[in-house]
Amino acid sequence: MMYQRIVLLLFFTALIIPFESCKTLEPAPVDTVEDVEQITEDVQENIETFTPSPDTIEELVSDRPKPYDTHAMTNDLTGFSFRLFKELSKNHEQQNISFSPVSLNMALAVIYSGAMTDTRDEMARLTGFNKDATLFHTNYFQYFSSFGKLEADTLVDFNLANRVFVEQSYPVLDSYKHDVETYHGGAFEQMNFIEDTRRAEQRINRWAMEMTRERIKDLIPEGTLDPLTRMVLANAIYIKSEWRHPFEEENNVQKEFHAISGQIETTEFMTQRESRIPYLKLDDRKVIQLPYTSPNLSLMIILPDEKTVTDISTYIPDEDQYKEMIDNISPHDVYMEIPRFKLESQFSLSDHLKEMGMEKAFDERADFSGIGGQRDLFISAILQKVFFEIDEKGSEAAAATAIIVTATAVMPGIEEPREFIADRPFIFILKENQFNTPLFVGQFVSP
């Protein structure tokens, strides 16, 4: 056929040109193409028609990376965080506790980067982390980077750090080091776990204390580590910020609080009437959101309507209820009475995570071969300690040193103020305001 002759002639011409580059070349004779339509028909006859079956289409689509965004990841993390806190609440129903979802999730993200096969699948199902490494790192890094706003915010005393303390003789893959340093802002520090576990414990505890302005001490109890320890992945977070509308100490009152135990106890309440406080009334609870001087933070308090509360865990929202609160809360004139308090909590989270489906990571079935190249690692314990305090000036679990006085846009007296009298057990959530992820979650059930 004509088009085949043209192709062959061009091919041989291309072969000859390099060898004849020093000679004067004569144009090669070619046949004139006159019947373009005929050539087109000949070509079409030689094109194999391909119509993929529905199964083939489904297979091709399933192999393609799925779209994944940071908001979807943070929504899944929020759901996981509240489910875990509900388990903690049920196990500490008579106690004031606080838990830091963001600290746990960031530590889990670091070790998830080295999780493989079934271990990775279980962790992904529990947390919502994407199983595809590229999508996970891309979207997690966007979330992690968002905390740069808090680091740069002069209205907040904020610190966030990840560190991997690794046995000096254990070979860590360069790829894992790269992922931890690039996407998690983590640093590696070599330790001598085999010969001097006590010094290693002291070093890790000193690091945690330094990163949290000395609020967290003895993160790892003496005797926890042993010569088989190969790695401790640690996260520390500290936040201190002041209320946009600080309470006046002279307005504090002594009032009764209806404790979870059924007893009525007298304690000190901070009181304030303020306009434009985000407030929401639901069927069985009230919600307020206290603003800080920093626009990047807020404290949500969920207060049951019933004064007699026997199970505060039923008021912990799931991710959908939490989103509904965020979407529907709006500014109102609010009169508040909130107890000032300080609490410290300590958790061993391993058993809770096993019960929630993350089982293989804690025994010989674990596959963390993405860390050192071998299936020789498993998680022996996950520990967390928390400090949380609120008073007239603000809250500490992180910090700020400036007070900004904002003019109220709604004049007092235009509407009857909503009352928010926190004289019974309540849930509190310290959150960042970009993705609204909970940084600290707690319950106050007794003065």
Write the pLDDT tens digit of every residue in 389-412: 999 999 998 321 111 111 123 333
Q: Is the pLDDT of residue 292 over 50?
A: yes
Which CATH number does 99-241+343-388 carry? 3.30.497.10
Give the amino acid at 393.
K
Q: Is the pLDDT of residue 58 over 60?
A: no
The 10s digit of each residue's pLDDT in 335-378 is 999 999 998 898 889 999 999 999 998 888 999 999 999 898 88
The 10s digit of each residue's pLDDT in 18-34 is 434 433 334 444 444 44
Question: What's the pLDDT score for residue 415?
Answer: 58
Compute how many other C-beta atoms are within 10 angstroms of the C-beta atom of residue 356: 17
The 10s digit of each residue's pLDDT in 407-447 is 123 333 445 677 777 877 888 888 888 888 888 778 888 88
Structure tokens at 288: 């307020």
Nearest to 297 by CA among 183, 156, 146: 156
The CATH class for the domain spanning 249-341+402-444 reads mainly beta
Output the 3-class SS for 72-106.
HHHHHHHHHHHHHHHHHHHHCCCCCEEECHHHHHH
pTM for this predicted structure: 0.79
Question: What's the pLDDT score for residue 297?
Answer: 92
CB 400 within 8 A of CB 242: yes
Compute how many other C-beta atoms are within 10 angstroms of the C-beta atom of residue 162: 22
Question: What's the pLDDT score for residue 5?
Answer: 45
Q: What CA–CA distance (Å, rounded) separates 419 from 248?
A: 18
Q: Is the pLDDT of residue 167 over 70?
A: yes
Report which of residues 246 and 53 the model is more confident about: 246
CB 257 within 8 A of CB 423: yes
pLDDT classification of 244: cutoffs 50, 70, 90: very high
Q: Is the pLDDT of residue 136 over 50?
A: yes
Output the DSSP codes for 213-270. TT----SS-TT---TT--EEEEEEEEEEEEBSSPPPGGG-EEEEEE-TTS-EEEEEEE
Q: Is the pLDDT of residue 220 over 50?
A: yes
Residues forming CATH 2.30.39.10 domain(s) in the chain: 249-341+402-444
Question: What's the pLDDT score for residue 69?
Answer: 66
Residues forming CATH 3.30.497.10 domain(s) in the chain: 99-241+343-388
Q: By percentage, how much of the chain surpasses pLDDT 70? A: 80
